[in-house]
Chains A and B, each alone.
Chain A
Amino acid sequence: MGTSTKTAGETLDKQEKTAAVELKGAVFTLPVLKLHSTDLPAIEHELKVHLARGLNFFKHAPLVIDLEAIDEQQGRKLDFTAIVSALHRMQLFVVGVRNTNPEQAKRALAAGMAVLKGGIAQEDISSGKNTSAPPPATSKTLSAETTKVIHQPVRSGQQIYAKGCDLIVLSSVNVGAEVIADGNIHVYGSLRGRALAGVSENANARIFAQVMEPELVAIAGNYQVFDEPNASNLYGKAAQIHLDNNRLVIAPI
């Protein structure tokens, strides 16, 4: 299993529906819980404090545990099964563990966790910044990239693809140009060309533009053309586009 990136034109409808399963790759942003101690009660207590501070968006979140700072020679051995169930009680679901040594990896697998490799340097979670980790259960190393930032105008005939991340264009996207991202697309000038966000099936991706005048927009394969400038009263204004029940919705920013 590897990752596949769907091209713009593809939609879900065209895929094989007769098969019972389908294996696909996708890139997810997951919160990472970095442990500094093997002391389970202490971990539990601190997490409760964090959650009480209103970090509610972690509720029901899939979580990756990072063992980089753990030295089991010094402290006690981690009880993975106990940690998983403790976190579960707080409605956090551990999907994997990373920065393990081979022995820890064995114990993690035994506790039903996937062992992840790669992932980019993490920001402090409580600062509100997104953290990212590669999708679980892949055998190959997958590293999530940081946001792709374009400073120049994207001109006719040019195509920019932000693989596995967001795309920020600090200038305009001109007619005949195409910007594509696995994540969100932000255009801090005029969006006059084509913009395709969430191309690897990320239905939560959005498109933002200071001046929304696109030829075509698409999110996760659902597309819309703007052949009539008055198709939306937000045409030419600052606007965002998101997906609601497979329908593209344009809204003011």
Chain B
Amino acid sequence: MSKVIVVTSGKGGVGKTTTSASFAAGLANRGHRTVVIDFDIGLRNLDLVMGCERRVVYDFVNVINDEATLKQALIRDKSDNNLHILPASQTRDKDAFTEEKVGKVIDELREDFDYIVCDSPAGIEKGALMALFYADEALIVTNPEISSVRDSDRILGMLSAKSQRAIQGEEPIKEHLVVTRYSPNRAESGEMLSLDDIQELLGIDLIGVIPESEAVLQASNSGVPVIRDEQSKSGQAYQDMVARFLGEDIPMRFLEAEKKGFLKRFFGA
């Protein structure tokens, strides 16, 4: 049985697309047939982060409007045959979306894929609502700061009210918290919210903590999901997150503030 997972946050710029790309790449890398859909019509980014922007011919809106088949629009990842991308349209607007039409595409994808990852746009408008409507599970991407947490709270409310599962009274969407751009040093000094604070405020289970890292920006710029950068802490943290999603019991890493060593202190690194 295939699963639809929405990656959402309410707030923009917290790392939804980065998380969608790495999460989908991680699932595919473990042998699961995975497709990641960009719901951010008009502001598409996922293709850039996945490094396939020059191969976009048809997009999600073309498929919805029956101007292209799903097969024509899906882009296969360069290095992983299990991973496909359904890009957003840069020129259309989100009025193209209706529950019925999106549902038809999702149903078609369910036949071919184990996991359907929906990269939600920011906000609580139609695009975001469409991205979460058919979800079975949700990754709530949150930065350790108060406005991000409040927006996540808002989107959690929408998951429990506006999703298909909520409307039809089915088992509620399974919600997972992903804290991104986490800096243990700054949390310790009180500049950032701590993990405990965030969990207390949102009341959902933590599935991953991605440390703040330059590797994320570099990976995005070079069009490779950061999860493939096995040297970076962020990449390793995403690997852990995917493993936990698939049911493995792995302790959280990179939560402790780094103690500056003698040499680092000496050279002020």
How far, in Å, is B68 (CB) from chain A's closest CB? Answer: 36
- Whether a CB of chain B sits under 8 angstroms from the CB of A176 is yes
The reply to whether B203 and A156 contact each other, CB–CB distance below 8 Å, is: no
Complex CA gap A171/B157 in Å reads 14
From the candidates B124, B154, B160, B201, name the one contacting A152 in the complex (CB within 8 A): B160
| Interface positions of B from 118 to 156, Cβ below 8 Å from A | 124, 150-151, 153-154, 156
- Whether a CB of chain A sits under 8 angstroms from the CB of B161 is yes
The reply to whether B157 and A157 contact each other, CB–CB distance below 8 Å, is: yes
Number of residues from B at the complex interface, CB < 8 A: 12
How far, in Å, is B233 (CB) from chain A's closest CB? Answer: 31
How far, in Å, is B146 (CB) from chain A's closest CB? Answer: 9
- The count of A-to-B residue pairs whose CB atoms sit within 8 angstroms is 32
Complex CA gap A158/B156 in Å reads 10
The B contact surface, by secondary structure, is helix
From the candidates B150, B151, B161, B201, name the one contacting A158 in the complex (CB within 8 A): B161
- Whether a CB of chain B sits under 8 angstroms from the CB of A174 is yes
How far, in Å, is B156 (CB) from chain A's closest CB? Answer: 5
The reply to whether B154 and A172 contact each other, CB–CB distance below 8 Å, is: no
The reply to whether B154 and A156 contact each other, CB–CB distance below 8 Å, is: yes
Whether A176 contacts B203 in the complex (CB less than 8 A), given A152-B160, A158-B161, comes out as no
B residues within 8 A CB of A155? 153-154, 156-157, 160
Whether A158 contacts B157 in the complex (CB less than 8 A), given A175-B150, A176-B150, comes out as yes
A residues within 8 A CB of B153? 155-156, 174-176
The reply to whether A174 and B161 contact each other, CB–CB distance below 8 Å, is: no
How far, in Å, is B198 (CB) from chain A's closest CB? Answer: 12
A residues within 8 A CB of B157? 154-158, 177
From the candidates B124, B158, B160, B201, name the one contacting A174 in the complex (CB within 8 A): B201
The reply to whether A171 and B154 contact each other, CB–CB distance below 8 Å, is: no
- Whether a CB of chain B sits under 8 angstroms from the CB of A153 is yes
How far, in Å, is A156 (CB) from chain B's closest CB? Answer: 4
Complex CA gap A224/B22 in Å reads 47
**Could you mark each residue 121-160 of chain A with 1 if its beta carbon is under 8 Å from any beta carbon of chain B, else 0?**
0000000000000000000000000000000111111100
The reply to whether B161 and A172 contact each other, CB–CB distance below 8 Å, is: no
Complex CA gap A126/B150 in Å reads 47
From the candidates B150, B160, B161, name the one contacting A156 in the complex (CB within 8 A): B150
Complex CA gap A175/B158 in Å reads 15
A residues within 8 A CB of B203? 153, 171-172
How far, in Å, is A190 (CB) from chain B's closest CB? Answer: 8
The reply to whether A176 and B154 contact each other, CB–CB distance below 8 Å, is: yes
Complex CA gap A70/B161 in Å reads 47
B residues within 8 A CB of A152? 160
How far, in Å, is A179 (CB) from chain B's closest CB? Answer: 13
**Could you mark each residue 16-52 of chain B with 1 if its beta carbon is under 8 Å from any beta carbon of chain A, else 0?**
0000000000000000000000000000000000000
B residues within 8 A CB of A176? 150, 153-154
- Closest A-chain residue to B156, C-beta based? A155
| Interface positions of A from 3 to 58, Cβ below 8 Å from B | none
The reply to whether B154 and A157 contact each other, CB–CB distance below 8 Å, is: yes
How far, in Å, is A114 (CB) from chain B's closest CB? Answer: 40
How far, in Å, is B163 (CB) from chain A's closest CB? Answer: 13
- Closest B-chain residue to A174, C-beta based? B153
* Central interface residue in A152, A155, A172, by most chain B CB within 10 Å: A155
Binding site for A on B (CB under 8 A): 124, 150-151, 153-154, 156-158, 160-161, 201, 203
Beyond the given pairs A153-B203, A172-B203, A175-B153, 5 more chain A to chain B contacts, judged by CB atoms under 8 angstroms and listed by A's residue number, are: A155-B153, A156-B153, A174-B201, A175-B150, A175-B201
